[in-house]
Structure 1
Amino acid sequence: MTTKASAIVPGDVHTRAEIMPVFGGSGQGGICPSIEKQSVNLYSDPSVGELNGYYDGWLAEEDDLGPIFEYTGAGKSGNQTFAGIVGAGNRAILRHAEQNRRLRVFTKVGLLPNSGTKTHQFIGEFTLDALEPYVWRRVHGNDNKERNVIVFRLRPDGEFQHSSKNLIPAAPETTWELVPFEIVTAANFHSDPATTGTLPVSNQRRKKASSLKKAAENAATLGTFVASEEFNKKMSLRSSAAAHIAVRHEAELTRTYMAHLKEVGRKTGAFQIKVKGLTSTLRTDLYDATEHVLYEAKGSSAREDVRMALGQILDYSRYVRTEDHPEPPKRVILLPAKPDLDMFDLCKTYGVEIVYRSENGSFIGESVPTD
């Protein structure tokens, strides 16, 4: 195989020796940064990941922004980290935007004939998801020990190769487990000393907006309102800003309430849920393990947010069980301010309580524990 910079496109298969002159990196390791080529090359080998309790690949379930590729961070034993030498590769992914590097993903295909040299398919260029760049996940390694791993959520940034061979396997059965509580948000990402600035909006998201605009233009002869490009751009920025603010408020609200629970001696955690037939992993918000109370937090008390929280907590609570508490949990929606009065009636209809923060910072609701 001869390789030129312009020759490596999504779908192409090459050895590392052929990839390195083009995109840099190294001849081994999963996360391979390159200052010279302004690239962070991510190599995924399903056989290695499976042995260590995780899978990299595409989620079958897409959201409004399109597909997501999950990539597990570096560290084959113990809890993964962003700190020190051990966490250098994970930091390289986290900092890719501020360091002006591209995330490029490669998956193992096989071996060269009559050789032990691995071949890798180039999947494409990516950027971290703007609202949830990574999640903590509890996995069981080949040593049967539990540990926390960092799962990066990657969005395609341009052309990409999407193959069923790279899909994360669907869960064969529905399972749930209590895991340590962690908050990961865009707010954490931006305020963390490890990085500065903001995450870029991927080309894929921009392409979605363009296709919507084109559809509107094609329908213009039928009297459909056509929004200008500038209007779409402003609305996109406003929506993005509003989402970031809500996420930041939700994280701060949850941390504050969790601190209150710990002050009164409550043990906290979260539930990690895999649903039969799905490739994605669900994770609940705050869980009071002492009193068996499940909380779903929202960064806004608007009607649409309360309704969303209601649907989520009704869904998640079906799986929240422990040996000490085999019965359904008490369900509580946690809000930053008092919602409309009829929202209390709506939630009460479904056996869900509301706890909200007052203007003086205290929490109000029947489930709020006291000393």
Structure 2
Amino acid sequence: MSESFDLEPGAVLTRGERAARWGGGTQRGIEPSTRTPNVFLYADPAEAGKFGYVDGWAPDGDVFLYTGEGSEGDQQLAQGNVSVLEHRRQGRALRLFVAVSGKQRGGKLHRYVGEFEVDRDIPFTREDAPDALGAIRSALVFRLRPAGSVEHRESDASHVDTAMIGPRAELVGVERAVAVESDRKATPGGKARRREAELTEQYRAWLEAQGHEVKQWKLHLPGQVAALRTDLFDVTAGEIYEAKGSIARESIRMAIGQLLDYRRHVPVPGAVLAVLLPARPSDDLVDLVTSAGMSCVYRQDAGSFARVGPATVS
């Protein structure tokens, strides 16, 4: 779209070098230029994981998934995100770069991937992802399609599936969570996710020791990039579990809502629901869970688990 832009896909340069030639800032992920009709997009795999970003080529290889800007709270269609969504109307080209070095004197090096445009049918999806404070928020994920010659590397692949046209559920093996943060460095949200992962793994092992088959449901939903996964599914008992690393009311209320959402999509008629907790909560919260028709399962001091069944309706 801009004849003055002569950079070839695969070329490597710093943000400063790009700004000197074609304008745009040097600090943000989305940098519209006031000098040339371009919007410069920067993806950084090393930083993306901190915020749950999914940046990269979707498995079909035709779409590059790019997370919008905004590190805290729900991402909004404002500022840089609007410049991406409306780039055609504004007569701007979307030019994508991927970081290929860490911080260094003169600035990080970025590889130019090529020119893109937002997908005309599904320009973006909304995905749940942790923000900079570890809280779950709604993030914008733009679906970018090549608008010319681009460099396509396997190393730039995203770890999530592309948006589905229709719903699909598949029973899969339990995905082991890998904890890489120390307690000192981890965000509050990161610590909570690690506690949930440890609790889930302990309960999975406990169920399997009793001869139960344990899996997960992987749920692909219309218009959503990232698949939902139930924490556990006890195949033997037909029971869906949502684990929480805290017995606080907020966590338990969230678990109840998540289980109701899962049951809408899991193809198991009459699936049983259970909230898995690291300790027994207050009697009022146990009643909250069981009055919703769910079991409250909690870890005991000896490492075993106890269950309070759902309330019966007379």
Q: Which of 319, 331, 334 does residue 276 from structure 2 map onto?
A: 334
**How far 1:262 moved relative to its partner?**
1.2
Q: How many residues align?
A: 218
What are the Cα deviations for residues 258-304 of structure 1, in whole angstroms up to 9, with x where unaligned?
11111111111111112223333211101111221111000000111
Structure 1 residues 286 and 108: alpha-carbon distance in aligned structure 2, compared to 1, 3 A threshold:
farther
> What amino acid is aligned across from residue 189 of structure 1 in structure 2?
V
**How far 1:333 moved relative to its partner?**
0.3
Matches within 5 A, 1:219-230: none
**How far 1:165 moved relative to its partner?**
2.7
3-state SS of 2:264 partner: coil
**How far 1:108 moved relative to its partner?**
4.3
3-state SS of 2:191 partner: helix
Asked if residue 57 in structure 1 is aligned to residue 3 in structure 2, the reply is no
Q: Separation in 1 of the partners of 2:45 and 2:292? A: 50
Q: Separation in 2 of the partners of 1:66 and 1:344? A: 31
Q: Separation in 2 of the partners of 1:299 and 1:103? A: 39
Q: Separation in 1 of the partners of 2:115 and 2:66? A: 16
Contact 1:44–1:107, Cα closer than 8 Å, also in 2 = no
Matches within 5 A, 1:119-158: none
What are the Cα deviations for residues 71-99 of structure 1, in whole angstroms up to 9, with x where unaligned?
xxxxxxxxxxxxxxxxxxxxx99xx79xx
Partner of 1:250: 196
Structure 1 residues 247 and 130: alpha-carbon distance in aligned structure 2, compared to 1, 3 A threshold:
farther
Contact 1:43–1:108, Cα closer than 8 Å, also in 2 = no
* Structure 1 stretch displaced more, 331-340 or 352-361: 352-361
Structure 1 residues 163 and 254: alpha-carbon distance in aligned structure 2, compared to 1, 3 A threshold:
closer
What are the Cα deviations for residues 177-219 of structure 1, in whole angstroms up to 9, with x where unaligned?
111111336xx1226xxxx9847xxxxxxxxxxxxxxxxxxxx
3-state SS of 1:173 partner: coil
Q: Separation in 2 of the partners of 1:345 and 1:358? A: 18
Asked if residue 355 in structure 1 is aligned to residue 297 in structure 2, the reply is yes
Structure 1 residues 329 and 163: alpha-carbon distance in aligned structure 2, compared to 1, 3 A threshold:
closer
Q: Which of 147, 168, 177 does residue 175 from structure 1 map onto?
A: 168
Partner of 1:218: none
Contact 2:65–2:143, Cα closer than 8 Å, also in 1 = no
Q: Separation in 2 of the partners of 1:105 and 1:328? A: 51
Asked if residue 312 in structure 1 is aligned to residue 231 in structure 2, the reply is no
Q: Separation in 2 of the partners of 1:296 and 1:333? A: 5
> What amino acid is aligned across from residue 294 of structure 1 in structure 2?
I
Asked if residue 7 in structure 1 is aligned to residue 4 in structure 2, the reply is no
Structure 1 residues 264 and 280: alpha-carbon distance in aligned structure 2, compared to 1, 3 A threshold:
same
Q: Give the unaligned 5+ runs of structure 2.
A: 1-5, 19-23, 25-29, 33-41, 47-53, 76-98, 117-129, 147-160, 310-314
3-state SS of 1:252 partner: helix
Structure 1 residues 44 and 277: alpha-carbon distance in aligned structure 2, compared to 1, 3 A threshold:
closer
Asked if residue 165 in structure 1 is aligned to residue 165 in structure 2, the reply is no
- TM-score with structure 2 setting the length: 0.55
Asked if residue 109 in structure 1 is aligned to residue 115 in structure 2, the reply is yes
Asked if residue 189 in structure 1 is aligned to residue 195 in structure 2, the reply is no
Asked if residue 287 in structure 1 is aligned to residue 233 in structure 2, the reply is yes
What are the Cα deviations for residues 128-186 of structure 1, in whole angstroms up to 9, with x where unaligned?
97799xxxxxxxxxxxxxxxxxxxxxx99xxxxx865369864211111111111336x
- Give % identity: 30
Contact 1:332–1:353, Cα closer than 8 Å, also in 2 = yes
> What amino acid is aligned across from residue 295 of structure 2 in structure 1?
E
Q: Give the unaligned 5+ runs of structure 1.
A: 13-22, 24-30, 34-41, 68-91, 111-127, 133-154, 157-161, 200-239
Contact 1:43–1:107, Cα closer than 8 Å, also in 2 = no
Matches within 5 A, 1:259-270: 259-270=205-216
> What amino acid is aligned across from residue 115 of structure 2 in structure 1?
V
Partner of 2:244: 298
- TM-score with structure 1 setting the length: 0.47
3-state SS of 1:307 partner: helix
Higher helix share: 1
**How far 1:311 moved relative to its partner?**
0.5
Structure 1 residues 344 and 170: alpha-carbon distance in aligned structure 2, compared to 1, 3 A threshold:
same
Structure 1 residues 268 and 334: alpha-carbon distance in aligned structure 2, compared to 1, 3 A threshold:
same
Structure 1 residues 267 and 11: alpha-carbon distance in aligned structure 2, compared to 1, 3 A threshold:
same
